[in-house]
Each structure stands twice: as structure tokens, then as C-alpha cells.
Amino acid sequence: MTPEVRERLDTFIKLKGLRNTPQRDAIVDVIFSSDEHFTADDLWEKLRGTDARSSRATLYRTLSLLTEAGLLQEIDLGDDQTTYDPNFLDKPAHNHLVCVDCGKVIEFEDGHLEVLNDCITRRLGFRPVKQSLRIEACCEELRTNGRCLNLIQARLEGKRFPVKKR
């Protein structure tokens, strides 16, 4: 966890008159020990390894808190669970490419895209706040090589795209 994050959280906690708890700290530590996006369930699994256990309720409450504090961004990858992105303070946009073959998710940025979207937004008579592009695409690897490691892995885990479980 960067001091930047720590400070922002402390400020938020003070501002709102909230308190520090070991459960919350443990969750926050795990979240910001990586800059990969994750789901509530991913986080739950990571916490199992730790000795610092907490309930799912607390986990969800902490996720809401961090989102409200502006330290986490909720993103939607098209399945039925919310994905959270911790490392977005440097990234103004959230653009994802999801492979329809293997489910691989690639996060990317593109200056041209942002400029263009800003133009479009203003042209429509609005003021830009946030943007997220979601591209579904086919894995070139599968098309050209006839196989794709991600796909194999995904099948092993029973996680083929689309990942809707309902």
C-alpha cells in the first residue's frame, strides 16, 4: 500500500468520524498489496490464507467504503459480479478488452480514445465525468495457433466466457 493510499484513507476515516479496526486494516492491506483488479470472492479467497479473518459482510462493507473514499473503482466485466480496481488513481479511463474465447481481460489506455470521447460527450451537450469501454474480441492465438493457453486454463477452472453463473 502506497503512503498516498494510506493517507487518503486516513483522511476519509477522520472526515467521516469512523474508526480503525483490525478487520478493515487487514482487508485494505490485502487489496492494495497488488494492483490487479479482483472480485469480492477473489478477495475472500485471499483472506482465507491470512490469519486475519473477517465476515463476508465486513468485506462488502469495506469495499463500499473504499469505493466511496475514491480508492477503489467498481467496474463491470459483463459477468454477474462486481469487479474492483485498486490501481486507478493514475488511470483516468477504464477500458477493457475481454476475449470471448478464453476470457482473458486486458486493461488498456489510449490517449486518442479519451480525447475522442471527450469530444463526443461535449458534442452531445454534456460534461465528461468517467468513461469505460468494453471490447469483446477473439483471441488471435486461438485462431492462428489453434490453441490458447488461457483457454485451456479457463476450461480447467470451469471459467469459460461468458462467466454468468446465474
Residues at the contact surface with its own copies, assessed by CB under 8 A: 76, 78, 97, 99-100, 106, 108, 110, 112-113, 116-117, 120-121, 124-141, 143
Integer Rg of the chain from CA:
18
From the list DNA, its own copies, none, pick the one residue 108 interacts with, judged by a Cβ distance below 5 to 8 Å according to partner type.
its own copies
Residue that has been written with the C-alpha cell 467521516 in this structure: 16
From the list its own copies, DNA, none, pick the one residue 90 interacts with, judged by a Cβ distance below 5 to 8 Å according to partner type.
none
The footprint of DNA on residues 38-67 (CB under 7 A) is: 39-41, 53-58, 60-64
User: For residue 88, which of 105, 104, 107 has the smallest C-alpha distance?
Assistant: 107
Report the residue number, 69 or 97, with the smaller CB distance to its own copies: 97
* Cα distance between residue 69 and residue 50, in whole Å: 25
* Cα distance between residue 22 and residue 4, in whole Å: 20
Regarding 82 and contact with DNA (CB under 7 A), the answer is: yes
Regarding 10 and contact with DNA (CB under 7 A), the answer is: no
Report the residue number, 62 or 95, with the smaller CB distance to DNA: 62
Choosing from 48, 112, 130, 165, the residue that interacts with DNA (CB under 7 A) is: 165
Judged by CB under 7 A, the number of residues near DNA is 29
Instruction: Give 106-114's long-range contacts (Cβ < 8 A, gap of 24+).
Output: 107/37
Query: Other CB atoms closer than 10 Å to residue 22's CB: what's the count?
Result: 9
From the list DNA, its own copies, none, pick the one residue 23 interacts with, judged by a Cβ distance below 5 to 8 Å according to partner type.
DNA
User: For residue 2, which of 81, 71, 83, 95 has the smallest C-alpha distance?
Assistant: 71
* Cα distance between residue 83 and residue 63, in whole Å: 10
Q: Which residues contribute to the site for DNA (CB under 7 A)?
A: 13, 17-24, 39-41, 53-58, 60-64, 80-82, 164-166
